[in-house]
C-alpha cells in the first residue's frame, strides 16, 4: 500500500474529503503525514482529530526555500512517503522536492487551467465574466499551475453567479473528484486525460 503526504495551508476541506475516503476504504492508500506552512490553519485541527501526524513550519524561520524543503524531504523519506498531494498549499514547490519526487506530486486547482492560474482563481473567473470554470488536477512542475493536466471537470457559470455560489459548486466537485483520481494514481499509477462536463 502506497503512503502519501498532503500539503495544505488553509481550512483543509479537500484534506478532510481525502481523510474521509481513506477511513471509509474508498481510497486504499495510507495518509501518513500533513505538511502545513501556516501554524494557525484549521487543517491542523482536522489532522489532529484524524490522528494524522503533522509537520507545521513557517517559511520565514528558514534562510531559504531549499532549507525548509530539505527538512520536509527528510521527514518524507523517514516515513517512506511515495507520493505528495497538494490540497490548498499556497507555495510553489521548489527544485529540492521536485527532484526527490519527480512525477509523484499532484495538485488540485479551482479553474480550467491554463485559465486563471495562481491565487484567487474563483475571483479571476468572476472578474473575467467567464462562461465556464471548474476543477483541474495536474502534476506539479516548477511553474505556477503549469504541470501536465490529468483530469478536468467543468461547470457553467450562471449570470447571477457569486463567489460563494461558485466556490460551493467547485468544492462539491473537488471533494469527489480528487479522492477518486488519487485512488487511481496511488493504486494503479494511471495517468488519466479526460474532461467531464457538468452543468448546474
How far apart CA 55 and CA 58 sit, in angstroms, is 10
Block residue for cell numbers 509523484:
104
Average pLDDT of the residues in 101-127: 95
Block residue for cell numbers 481510497:
27
Which residue intervals of the chain are DSSP H helices?
A: 13-24, 42-50, 65-78, 95-100, 121-127, 163-188
**Contact at 8 Å (CB) between 11 and 38?**
no
Domain ranges across the chain: 3-197
This prediction has a pTM of: 0.92
For 75-89, what is each residue's pLDDT tens digit?
999 999 999 999 999
Give 42's contacts (C-beta < 8 A, 6+ positions apart): 10, 11, 12
For 41-54, what is each residue's pLDDT tens digit?
999 999 999 999 99
**Cell numbers standing for residue 144:** 505556477
pLDDT band at 199 (very low <50, low <70, confident <90, very high): very low
- Active-site positions read 109
CATH T-level assignment (fold) for domain 3-197? Rossmann fold (3.40.50)
Amino acid at each position: 500500500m502506497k503512503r502519501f503526504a498532503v500539503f495544505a495551508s488553509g481550512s483543509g476541506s479537500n484534506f478532510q474529503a481525502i481523510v474521509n475516503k481513506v477511513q471509509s476504504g474508498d481510497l486504499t492508500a495510507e495518509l501518513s503525514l500533513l505538511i502545513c506552512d501556516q501554524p494557525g490553519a484549521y487543517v491542523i485541527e482536522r489532522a489532529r482529530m484524524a490522528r494524522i501526524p503533522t509537520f507545521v513550519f513557517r517559511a520565514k524561520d528558514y534562510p531559504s526555500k531549499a532549507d525548509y524543503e530539505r527538512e520536509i524531504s527528510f521527514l518524507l523519506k523517514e516515513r517512506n512517503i511515495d507520493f505528495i498531494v497538494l490540497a490548498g498549499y499556497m507555495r510553489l514547490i521548489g527544485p529540492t522536492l521536485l527532484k526527490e519526487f519527480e512525477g509523484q506530486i499532484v495538485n488540485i486547482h479551482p479553474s480550467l487551467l491554463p485559465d486563471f492560474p495562481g491565487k484567487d482563481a474563483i475571483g479571476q473567473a468572476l472578474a473575467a465574466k467567464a462562461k465556464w470554470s471548474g476543477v483541474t488536477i495536474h502534476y506539479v512542475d516548477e511553474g505556477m499551475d503549469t504541470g501536465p493536466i490529468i483530469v478536468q471537470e467543468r461547470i457553467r457559470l450562471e449570470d447571477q453567479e457569486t463567489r460563494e455560489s461558485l466556490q460551493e459548486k467547485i468544492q462539491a466537485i473537488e471533494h469527489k473528484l480528487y479522492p477518486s483520481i488519487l485512488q487511481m494514481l496511488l493504486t494503479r499509477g494511471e495517468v488519466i486525460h479526460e474532461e467531464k462536463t457538468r452543468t448546474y
